[in-house]
Amino acid sequence: MTRTTELSRRTLLTTAAIGGAATIAMPGLLRAQAPAIKVGILQPVTGALAYDGQQGQIGAEAAIKAINEAGGIKSMGGAKLQMVFGDARSTPEGGTAEVERMQAEGVVAIVGGFASPICLAASQAAARYDLPYIVDVGVADSIVTRGLKNTFRFGPGFGTVTKTALDNLSKLNDAAGKPAKTVVLVHEDGLFGSGMAKLMQAELPKRGFEVLDTIAHPTPSRDMSNVALQIRAKNPDLVIPSSYYGEFALLARTMQQQRIKPKGIYAVLNGAASNFRFVKEFQDAAQFVMDCNHWHDPRKPVAEALRKQVEASGKFWTYNIPLNYSCVQLLADALETAGSGDKAKLTEALTASTFAGHIMPYGPTKFVNGQNEGGAPVNTQVQGADIKVIFPTDFADAKPIFPVPA
Amino acid sequence: MFAPDIILAAVLNGLMTGSVYALIALGLTLVYGVLHIINFAHGATLTAAMFAVYVAHTVFKLDPYIALFIVTPLFFGLGYGVQRFIIGPASHGEDRNILLVTLGLSILIENAMLAIFRSDTRSIDVAYAFSSIDLGFTFLALPRVLAFGVALLVALLLGLLLTRTDTGKAIRAVAREKTGAALAGIDVAHIYAVTFGLGAACVAIAACLLMPTFYVTPRAGNAFVLVAFTIVVLGGMGSIPGALLGALFIGVVESLCGLFFGESLGQIGIFLIFILVLLVRPTGLFGARA
């Protein structure tokens, strides 16, 4: 069926008259409006990773809103950012399909991806069009070691996070008079948890810790009683878990039921330990749990204001929000420098970026082979009803409580 | 090698996990025994029931054990309605149609839960979730001990209902000979719907017992239902004692295999036992001989 639109003489005259009157009434407005800049925001908002994707989307949207309200991209005549959203559906294929669509819709760059497999595939797809791609989370180091000129990771990768985690653990233990000597590792048996455990097994003994046991568990897990039993049998000073939210929440709860009280729970990139939902729903079990993860800079007023705004809307504050907020800010800064939506100029601006106006605990951005050398994780600890930053000490908003009170 | 007290603690944990498997498997085996269909929507029903308990707790401030008395009849009604007005009419008497309808329902329910609750992991915090019974060598979480007791009670009540009540006798009659039962004046469509309702009620009880210690996501039910399918076949399809004992057995096997071979390999034990039983006794432990 073909649909034709007929424009009557009367409609045409009326429209022209209204348009003319509006032009006379608001001449400044028409002249000032630069065309909107389309920005691709890619997140998995359906499927297994949907919660993380939804959180990332909150951060990106808030940044776009703030940038537009502050006058848009000034070097481009105050052009506003316009979000083109893509749902990666929690799969690399989904991410790739959305990159193709966004490219067809004319985006100048893409921000997001969340999971490593999605970031790997989506940035590769974007590379075919020389489309700048800013990775928000994706910790796999292979994302930035493939030599792709279009891919930039703002946050720290897996290697940096683990190294920082171990360094800080040593400092923490030394400062407390070395109360922890033995460790039990608990990890999910996928790529993330197994990789982490392998690295820990190799690195912990070098730093004076004895690994008593390494316990792998599947995701999802229906029951953590056996894991707790084994921890109880080994009676370690420290438990280091690397699991997703549900399993860690189950483990923390089961350990409490079983009255297992190590000197500390020190998580690395854990799905729950720096999540306010966990703190709210498991107040007792969450107490004093430490994590080494992405987190905002508590000294920055914009970060704290954003956190209050998110919490006032009834949502939980997670690291995805400030990371995506900062990534969009980074892109806006690069657009400001480039003064154009041209992909090559934008890539050049990102490569040379020294952006410092973000809300993360990083210094000015410095990309080396697409990795922001300034990106670093922090250590957090659940204290009361809050998650506090305990390391690095120069911007920590609380002192670590270690060993935890018996 | 583990100390005997750890092994004993693992056995007790297995029994308690198995009791929740039992409730889920009871519903599944009942529906299979009477309607002769495998209900693919069973896992999604469990998820929906867990969300119902979550809503009852967060919105209406109801304790999961109080919610049991509301969620269970509610899910019986829903199960009745779904069989009577959706599955029954859509099947046109063909088993394969029923399978596809239940599969479709499961996709529909999961996506509806995703749309309403999004994919966030949710749990409820009740004061007694951390209470444990001290046995000296181990602690048993109170909610899990309660789940064990309730599961045994439900299995007993279900057994009594099937053997001592008119509805139960009608269910058994329909299960054995549908046409004969219809000729004797039994409303087969009604009995089918009652059975489906009972299946849904069983998972609703399981949901109430799980929520004090477990979490819910739009796919949470699937973590349990594959095991439940295994238990139904292992115990003998359609057998109530088979589902109960099979579930407790599987719970212990899973727990011990997890302890000895690692958590990730715990489930291998389930399937090894399953294959072994099918090789030796194809009708399952309590199944009627063909």
pLDDT digits (tens, 9 = 90+) for B131-169: 888 888 888 889 999 999 999 999 999 999 999 999 999
Residues of chain B with Cβ-Cβ distance to A250 below 8 Å are: 213-215
Query: pLDDT tens digits, residue range A332-378?
Result: 999 999 999 999 999 999 999 999 999 999 999 999 999 999 999 99
Tell me whether residues A223 and B132 touch, CB distance under 8 A.
no
CB-based contacts of B127, cutoff 8 Å, min separation 6? none
Q: Where are the alpha helices (DSSP H) in A207-339?
A: 225-234, 245-257, 276-281, 283-286, 301-312, 320-338
Contact check, Cβ <8 Å, B125/A281: yes
Q: Is A250 close to B215, i.e. CB distance below 8 A?
A: yes
- C-alpha to C-alpha distance for A241 and A216, rounded to whole angstroms: 10
Mutant choice from B12, B19, B54, B120 vs A, greatest count of A C-beta within 10 A: B120
Contact across the interface for A258 and B130, Cβ inside 8 Å: no
In chain B, which residues have pLDDT < 70?
288-290
Of A51, A217, A259, the CB nearest to B120: A51
Provide, as residue numbers in chain A, all residues whose Cβ is less than 8 Å from the Cβ of B217.
Answer: 246
Q: Are strands B139-141 and B132-134 parallel, antiparallel or unpaired?
A: antiparallel
Do residue A226 and residue B255 have CB atoms under 8 angstroms apart? yes
Question: What secondary structure letter does DSSP report for B86?
Answer: I
Per DSSP, the residues of B201-239 read HHHHHHHHHHTTT--B-TTTTHHHHHHHHHHHHHH-TT-
* A280: nearest CA partner in chain B: B125
Give the residue on B whose Cα is nearest the Cα of A250. B214
Among residues A246, A306, A328, A255, the alpha carbon closest in space to that of A285 is found at A255
Nearest chain A residue to B2, by CA: A233
Query: From CA A195, how far away is CA B213, in angstroms rounded?
Result: 29
Tell me which chain A residue has its CA closest to the CA of residue B21. Answer: A222
Minimal CA separation from A366 to chain B, in Å: 34
Identify the closest residue of chain A to B6 by CA–CA distance: A229
**pLDDT band for position A32 (50/70/90)?**
low
**Closest chain B CA to residue A315:** B120
Count of beta carbons in the 10 Å neighbourhood of residue A375: 23
Query: Residue A213's beta-bridge partner residues?
Result: A184
Q: What is the mean pLDDT of chain A?
A: 89
Q: Over range A90-107, report the average pLDDT.
A: 95
Which residues on chain B are in Cβ contact (under 8 Å) with A223?
13, 17, 255
Distances (CA, A) of B116 to A151, A220, B176: 35, 22, 41
**In angstroms, what separates the C-alpha of B207 from chain A's closest C-alpha?**
13
CA distance A255 to A265: 11
Residue of B nearest to A231 (CA): B6
Q: Which residue in chain A has the smallest CA separation from B58? A: A281
pLDDT at B270: 86
Query: Is the model's pLDDT at A11 over the cut of 70?
Result: no
Is the pLDDT at A13 greater than 50? The verdict is: no
Contact list in A for residue B267 (CB cut-off 8 A) is: 218
Confidence of residue A7 (pLDDT cuts 50, 70, 90): very low
Cis before A156 (ω within 30): no
Q: Please list every residue in chain A whose beta carbon sits closer than 8 Å to the beta carbon of residue B18.
A: none
| DSSP H or E segment with residue A53 | helix A50-69
Tell me what pLDDT residue A3 has: 42
Cβ-Cβ contacts under 8 Å, A249 against chain B = 121, 123, 215
Contact B132 A257 (CB under 8 A): yes
Q: pLDDT, tens digit, for every residue of A151-193?
A: 999 999 888 898 899 999 999 999 999 999 999 999 988 777 8
Mutate to test the interface with A, among B6, B123, B255 (most CBs of A within 10 A): B123
CB contact under 8 A, A189 and B264: yes
Residue of A49, A223, A251, A261 to mutate, testing the B interface (most B Cβ within 10 Å of its Cβ): A223
Which residue on chain A is closest to B139 by alpha carbon?
A: A258
Query: Which residues of B fall within a CB distance of 8 Å from A217?
Result: 263-264
> Which residues of chain B does A245 touch, with a Cβ-Cβ cutoff of 8 Å?
121
Q: Quote the pLDDT of residue B235.
A: 87
With CA atoms as reference, the chain A residue closest to B132 would be A257
Of residues A50, A226, A253, nearest to B258 (C-beta): A226
Cis check: omega of the bond before A403, within 30 degrees of 0:
yes
State the best of B263, B270, B271 to mutate against chain A, taking most chain A CBs within 10 Å: B263
Nearest CB among B123, B263, B266 relative to A281 is that of B123
Percentage above 90 pLDDT, chain A: 67
> Which range in A95-104, A140-149, B79-88 is most confidently predicted, on average pLDDT?
A95-104
Q: Crossing angle, helix A301-312 and helix A320-338, to 10 degrees?
A: 130
- Measure CB to CB from residue A51 to each of B118, B132, B263 and give the nearest one: B118
- Alpha-carbon distance of A176 to A190, in angstroms, equals 33
CB contacts < 8 A (A, B): 105
Enumerate the residues of chain B whose CB falls inside 8 A of the CB of residue A270: none
Evaluate whether A157 touches A151 at the Cβ level (below 8 Å): no
Cβ(B138)–Cβ(B5) below 8 Å: yes
Contact partners, residue A91, CB within 8 Å, separation at least 6: A44, A47, A117, A118
Is the whole model's pTM more than 0.90, yes or no?
Answer: no
Contact B119 A258 (CB under 8 A): no
CB < 8 Å to B9, chain A:
225, 229
Asked if the Cβ–Cβ distance from B263 to A215 is below 8 Å, we say yes
What is the H or E stretch that residue B74 is in?
A: helix B64-82
Asked if the Cβ–Cβ distance from A249 to B130 is below 8 Å, we say: no
Q: What is the pLDDT of residue B218?
A: 87
Residue contact B119–A229, C-beta within 8 A: no
Tokens of A223: 């029951």
pLDDT tens digits, A240-278: 998 888 888 889 988 988 889 999 999 998 877 888 888
Token pair for residue A294?
Answer: 């992405």
Please give the structure tokens belonging to residue A237: 């000073």
For the question of an ipTM over 0.90, the answer is: no
